[in-house]
A and B are shown apart, each in its own frame.
Chain A
């Protein structure tokens, strides 16, 4: 594939509706490597750019299971195997007493999995990103909505892509330097 000095082409919109509409059109136009940026979550947007399912729930499930098992295993190993001792005449394996910690460990691991999993999948932290090279992108965290077509998209071509984007009636278009 051809090397290009630019990272992608970015169009700025005023409202979530415009962005969603634009995103749909772009996707339908056959662009796959696109992304959209908004100051708040917009349910329809992911669909619009053809992002359908994410892996976070699976990660959380795995985390939870690990927490649950390790929690109980820890208590069983300590109380029955490595340090067996008569506490108040209770049996070594006093399972009802072990439930609480098992539960807490489950929650803890699942929670950690959720956050860390989300960050990892999102590739964060990433303090530097080409999109920040666009001065107006600062408004992406305020009240502006951006659509992005990456230069790695096979259909990408500085001229045609710009023209295509203009067709979406954005407030402005900027080239994102790599």
Chain B
């Protein structure tokens, strides 16, 4: 492990295999559950129920209850979809890419980052189905033999989405699960409660830490990381194709894939920090999630943020340079059109404010980072809104120009998915080790095998 000269360590000194193990597993195994947890979970779940109500009404009445119309056929649903998918990128990125880059500091944040990925992708996955005119027919997007003898249309980016997102979810799930197996074994052996023992035992599948197993395990884990790396890049590329493949000014552009991926990582890390900071405070994990982690994540955000800024720049430049009357109008419309305030807000959130991350002090201040991350998440949501709505609402024929106004149902559905996300997170931290115990052990100096 090549340690870049960093002051803050990945893990505070004085820990042993035992302390690490107990510290982390105790969060799950200690009884009783704190009231704080119940309150938090209760609220999150309530919000989620609100979302379900909105979804129920949606199924009864139809997408007409949302603000979508002609020309703006896609509204909040797709905005939220892209936003959630983007957030879902951090997990696999941290686990896979940083693993390949041997960034061992990742070990203490990859577990819940992956969990977050799964939940974010689940939230994202809801929207493409909900936004259908006839959601009960969503399965028609899968190629399966049917009495109609008809099949999906593989030239459509939406079919690509189906494959990309479902693959991404599956791989992330596997990655997360095999990462959990040794820790589940630990919990199996630590827990006093018989039921817990059986459940963890079943999930651990009888893991016993055999050297042979470990060696195959490591190979598989590494290969999976190798596969997940191109995958994570491809997913948001494919999502960006939804727009790039079309002919609508503001969508039809080649910069989208890289710029979407960067944006995804940007928002992903923001979400990781928004979760990590309170969690480490509440569960006193400052020893494992140290300022070093905050600092590194902050720098990743700074970097990806600049890539995103470059994306905006190129879009604007192309609008002007192409000389295409539709593209140049799009630029004008973003700067002076009815949605211009949102565009400026977007620039402030995604480019302006994050520049404070140049300040080292702020990169290690939990509160500061927490706030900046929040701003970035808002900014990234706005970016998707600008891309989807502002491009659509004024396209080629001036006669067909229109406006898009979200309805209360749009908001309720969106908020609802946030509720779903948080509920899932609460459950996760309560029943599974939120930090990879066995990988933490490897970080300890004792883990090194001294040559005889």
Contact = CB atoms under 8 A, between A and B. Distances in A.
B126 interface: no
A56 interface: yes
Contact of A83 (B17, B150, B189): B150
B216 A54 contact: yes
A68 to B, nearest CB: 12
Interface in A80-112: 82-83, 87-88, 90, 94, 97-98, 100-101, 103-105, 107-108, 110-112
A165 to B, nearest CB: 17
A60 interface: yes
B207 A142 contact: no
A17 B446 CA distance: 9
Interface in B159-202: 159-160, 163-164, 167, 170-171, 174, 177-178, 182, 185-186, 188-190, 201-202
Interface in B384-405: none
A114 B190 contact: no
A20 to B, nearest CB: 5
Interface string B216-233: 111110011001101100
Contacts of B450: 17
A104 to B, nearest CB: 4
A137 B376 CA distance: 48
B186 A114 contact: no
B151 A83 contact: yes
A141 B206 contact: no
A178 to B, nearest CB: 16
Interface string B132-169: 00000000000100000111111100011001100100
B155 A87 contact: yes
Given A38-B209, A38-B214, A141 B151 contact: no
Interface in A26-81: 35-46, 48-49, 51, 54, 56-57, 60, 74-75, 78-79
Nearest to B177: A115
Contact of A100 (B160, B219, B438, B449): B160
A40 B220 CA distance: 15
Contacts of A49: 211-212
Contact of B154 (A43, A56, A79): A79
A8 interface: no
B125 to A, nearest CB: 15
Main secondary structure of the interface of A (DSSP, over half): helix
A15 interface: yes
Contacts, number: 207
Contact of B189 (A16, A79, A142): A142
B170 A42 contact: no
Contact of B153 (A35, A87, A126, A138): A87
A37 to B, nearest CB: 5
Interface string A123-154: 01111110110000111111100000000000
Contact of A78 (B152, B216, B439): B152
A60 B154 contact: no
B208 interface: yes
A79 B350 CA distance: 42
A119 interface: yes
Nearest to B155: A97
A6 interface: no
Given A37-B208, A38-B211, A100-B238, A118 B216 contact: yes
B227 A114 contact: yes
Nearest to A103: B234
Contact of A90 (B155, B164, B205): B155
B16 interface: yes
Contacts of B185: 141
B153 to A, nearest CB: 6
B325 interface: no
A103 B154 CA distance: 13
- Select the residue from B210, B211, B214 with max chain A CB neighbours within 10 A: B211
5 contacts: A43-B449, A78-B152, A82-B149, A100-B160, A110-B223
Interface of B: 16-18, 21, 143, 149-155, 159-160, 163-164, 167, 170-171, 174, 177-178, 182, 185-186, 188-190, 201-202, 205-220, 223-224, 227-228, 230-231, 234, 238, 241, 438-439, 441-442, 446-450, 452
Given A37-B211, A122-B217, A125-B205, 7 more contacts: A38-B214, A42-B211, A57-B219, A78-B143, A107-B227, A111-B174, A124-B207
